[in-house]
């Protein structure tokens, strides 16, 4: 293969040499030799340009040709393939065996000696959902695939197991599925991507769309499903012209029956700072929704100005809950084992606090962040989740709040392990992006996404066809639920809400295994 690649490159170079006029080579030669910016070109005119060709093509060559199936970061080729196959074909079948390196340390789910039969599972399988999936064959030059209409089981929770958020609110939110869209703003994503997710998640039922901190857009509403509206430090969508909180705009959003919960964003795993959107993405529609100036960079503050400590945070939560009648959640990132102590303790002492907490892992993604923050700031989701769950249990407030988790949780096994560690619900961002066509080009911040996902440029967005991609989102979510159901049955459980720390084992590189409950025991309650 490497010889073929080398010969192809040499052939391309030869064709360029024989077709480009000699005078042009002479001009480029002397320009390279006399420029002062690139040392390689100054010493090796013309020839040095080959180096820059390879440097430019390097990421794509590694992604598609040189990295192994499990090597690519932040998502491997195998990760992409699993999400795409689930969305297109509703399949997770493999043959011959896993490609996981079983000699490395890692988390494993515990199987039961007496797994549950399908008939024993306490899960809602009717009414069926209508969807479309691909059938046929797909080759490099011959693409004979076509969409077929099918009906599938929804794999929702029964009424008795439905997760209720804000039970004491005027309008509590009842959730019947474990996964939904994570916070992704209109502006970070284009309207076609948002609409495809909205339609797909709406058809799935029991799921949700998350606005991100960019405010509620008409594109979030088109699917008719449940919506979480996030309120970031910039207050986009609920702010006055001077940037202060606007109660009237908030109440207007709360009156929308599709909005089931509001979430105050305190932090995000990929950036412990305010959000950022490049001005090239801020078209007039986005500017109007956010209440900002078109075509200018948008930066939100590092934190909300409406509160500065736990008590003032709780005051603002109470104010919003009373004003809108809907549950109010917060989104945080854990910095250490004691990060949630003050939050849980204050909840116990005051009897107040959020209705939901989203714990975002440091491995989470973002349309735009800084390298130093993405690599180092904030704990990964599994560590942060255990510490949050421990703090809430320790102070006897765990039953008052529902916990969302997010951070590369895109497959049934990863979700099952995270549920075992203390999450009630799972937010998925990049898995949803991949299901609508993301190829991991990592150009989200440039507004030049080649597949029309993370861009507001109409020319690039035309690559993403909403009518086709909505089915992939629907199929991906239902396949996740189906996979979770299978894992729960194999663990001897009747549905996926029953996972806890006794169902996960950690195996080190020496082969020693320890149950998660023994590694991180549930704490004793010190406050009732």
Give every CB contact of residue 299 below 8 A, 6+ residues apart in sequence.
Answer: 234, 274, 275, 276
DSSP one-letter code for 143:
B
Q: Is position 218 within any domain?
A: yes
pLDDT of residue 45: 84
CA angle at 212 for the pair 325 and 180, rounded to the nearest 5°: 80
Is 60 exceeded by the pLDDT of residue 278? yes
**Residues in contact with 86: Cβ distance below 8 Å, sequence separation at least 6, in sequence order:** 92, 435, 475, 476, 479, 480
Q: Residue 396: what are its φ and ψ, rounded to 5°?
A: 70, 30
In this predicted model, what pLDDT tens digit does every residue of 470-506 receive, in sequence order?
999 999 999 999 999 999 999 999 999 999 999 999 9
pLDDT confidence tier of residue 275, bands split at 50, 70 and 90: low
Give the bridge partners for 158, in sequence order. none
For residues 46 and 165, membership in a common domain is answered with: no
Q: Based on the domain organization, do 293 and 432 belong to the same domain? A: yes
Instruction: Give percent of the chain with pLDDT exceeding 70.
Output: 89
Q: Which residues pair with 360 in a beta bridge?
A: 406
Boundary-marking domain end, from 40, 66, 92: 66
On whether both 476 and 400 belong to a single domain, the answer is yes
3-state DSSP call for residue 220?
helix
What is the pLDDT, as a whole number, of residue 9? 66
Mean pLDDT of the chain: 88
Instruction: Pick the closest to residue 406 from 228, 245, 287 (CA basis).
Output: 228
CA distance 132 to 135: 10
Q: Is residue 95 part of a domain?
A: no
pLDDT at 210 over 80: yes
Asked if 42 and 145 sit in the same domain, the reply is: no
Does 102 fall in a domain?
no
Q: Are 52 and 191 members of one domain? A: no
Is residue 104 included in any domain, yes or no?
Answer: no
Mean pLDDT across 167-179 = 97
Other Cβ atoms less than 10 A from the Cβ of 129: the count is 18
Residues 6+ apart with CB under 8 A from 420: 109, 499, 500, 501, 503, 504, 516
- Kindly state the percentage of the chain with pLDDT values over 90: 60
395 and 474 both lie in a single domain: yes
Beta bridge partners of 406: 360, 427
Overall domain count for the chain: 2
User: Within this chain, do residues 29 and 139 fall inside the same structural domain, yes or no?
Assistant: no
Nearest Cα to 366, choosing from 293, 273, 451? Answer: 273
- For residue 302, what are its two tokens? 């590092």
Specify whether the CB–CB gap between 439 and 430 falls below 8 A: no
User: Does residue 380 share a domain with residue 296?
Assistant: yes
State whether 188 and 326 are in the same domain: yes
Hey, what's the torsion of the CAs at 322, 179, 155, 222, to 10 degrees?
70
User: Is the predicted pLDDT of residue 367 greater than 60, yes or no?
Assistant: no
53/143 same-domain check: no
- Residue where one domain finishes, among candidates 36, 66, 96: 66
Query: Is there a domain that residue 298 lies in?
Result: yes
Radius of gyration of the chain (CA): 25
| Per-residue CA distances from 107 to 78, 97, 104 (Å) | 18, 18, 10
Q: Which of 403, 395, 433 is nearest to 499 (CA)?
A: 403
Across 79-88, 149-158, 248-257, 367-376, least confident range: 367-376
What is the spatial distance between Cα 154 and Cα 509, in angstroms, rounded to a whole number? 39
Q: Examine residue 82 and state whether it is found in any structural domain, yes or no.
A: no
| Inter-axis angle of helices 22-34 and 47-61, nearest 10 | 90
Average of pLDDT values for 85-100? 87
Which stretch of 58-72, 120-134, 144-158 has the lowest confidence by average pLDDT? 58-72
* Whether pLDDT at 21 is above 80: no
**Residue 108 in domain:** no
Q: Is the pLDDT of residue 191 over 90?
A: yes
Domain range enclosing 367: 129-519
* Predicted pLDDT of residue 345: 96
Look up the CATH number of the domain holding residue 216: 3.20.20.70
Q: Give a yes or no: residue 190 inside a domain.
A: yes
| Contact by Cβ (8 Å): 461, 450 | no
Residue 33, pLDDT score: 83
Confidence at residue 19, expressed as pLDDT on a 0 to 100 scale: 66
Question: Does 37 lie in the same domain as 140?
Answer: no
Mean pLDDT of 273-280: 71
- Please check whether residues 144 and 59 belong to one and the same domain: no
Binned at pLDDT 50, 70 and 90, residue 399 comes out as very high
Phi–psi pair at 276, nearest 5 degrees = -145, 135
Tell me how crowded residue 224 is: count the other CB atoms within 10 A of its CB.
14
- Residue after which a domain boundary falls, among 33, 66, 99: 66
How many Å apart are CA 292 and CA 288, to the nearest integer?
A: 7
Task: Write down the pLDDT at residue 527.
Answer: 61
């Amino acid at each position: 293969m490497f010889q073929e690649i080398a010969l192809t490159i040499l052939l391309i170079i030869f064709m360029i040499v024989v077709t480009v006029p000699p005078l042009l080579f002479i001009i480029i030669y002397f320009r390279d030799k006399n420029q002062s910016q690139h040392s390689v070109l100054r010493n090796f005119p013309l020839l040095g340009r080959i180096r820059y060709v390879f440097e430019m093509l390097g990421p794509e060559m590694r992604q598609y040709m040189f990295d192994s199936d499990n090597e690519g970061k932040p998502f491997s080729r195998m990760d992409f393939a699993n999400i795409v196959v689930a969305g297109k074909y509703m399949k997770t079948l493999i043959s011959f065996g896993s490609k996981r390196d079983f000699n490395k340390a890692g988390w494993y789910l515990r199987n039961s000696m007496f797994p549950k039969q399908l008939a024993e599972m306490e899960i809602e399988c009717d009414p069926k959902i209508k969807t479309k999936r691909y059938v046929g064959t797909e080759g490099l030059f011959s693409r004979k695939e076509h969409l077929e209409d099918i009906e599938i089981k929804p794999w929702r929770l029964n009424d008795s197991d439905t997760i209720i958020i804000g039970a004491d609110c005027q309008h509590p939110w009842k959730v019947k599925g474990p996964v939904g869209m994570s916070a992704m703003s209109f502006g970070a994503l284009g309207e076609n991507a948002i609409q495809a997710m909205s339609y797909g998640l709406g058809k799935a039922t029991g799921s949700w769309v998350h606005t991100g901190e960019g405010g509620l857009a008409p594109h979030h509403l088109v699917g008719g499903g449940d919506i979480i509206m996030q309120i970031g430090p910039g207050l986009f969508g609920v702010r006055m012209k001077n940037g202060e909180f606007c109660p009237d705009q908030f109440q207007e959003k709360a009156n929308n029956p599709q909005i089931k919960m509001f979430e105050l964003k305190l932090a995000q795993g990929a950036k412990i700072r305010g959000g950022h959107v490049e001005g090239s993405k801020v078209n007039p529609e986005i500017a109007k929704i956010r209440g900002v100036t078109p075509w200018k960079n948008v930066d939100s503050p590092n934190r909300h100005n409406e509160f500065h400590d736990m008590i003032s945070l709780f005051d603002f939560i109470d104010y919003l809950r009373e004003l809108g009648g809907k549950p109010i959640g917060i989104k945080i990132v854990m910095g250490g084992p004691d990060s949630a102590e003050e939050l849980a303790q204050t909840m116990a002492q005051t009897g107040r606090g959020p209705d939901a907490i989203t714990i975002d892992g440091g491995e989470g993604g973002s349309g735009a962040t800084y390298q130093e923050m993405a690599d180092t700031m904030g704990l990964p989701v599994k560590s942060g989740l255990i510490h949050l769950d421990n703090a809430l249990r320790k102070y006897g407030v765990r039953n008052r709040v529902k916990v969302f988790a997010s951070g590369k949780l895109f497959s049934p096994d990863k979700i099952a392990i995270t549920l075992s560690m203390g999450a009630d619900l799972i937010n998925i961002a990049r898995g949803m992006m991949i299901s609508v066509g993301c190829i991991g080009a990592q150009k989200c911040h440039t507004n030049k996404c080649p597949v029309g996902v993370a861009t507001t440029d109409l020319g690039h967005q035309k690559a993403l066809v909403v009518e086709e991609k909505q089915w992939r989102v629907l199929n991906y979510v239902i396949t996740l639920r189906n996979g979770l159901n299978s894992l729960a049955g194999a663990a001897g459980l009747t549905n996926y809400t029953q996972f806890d720390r006794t169902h996960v084992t950690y195996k080190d590189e020496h082969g020693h295994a320890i149950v998660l409950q023994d590694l991180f025991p549930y704490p004793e309650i010190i406050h009732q």
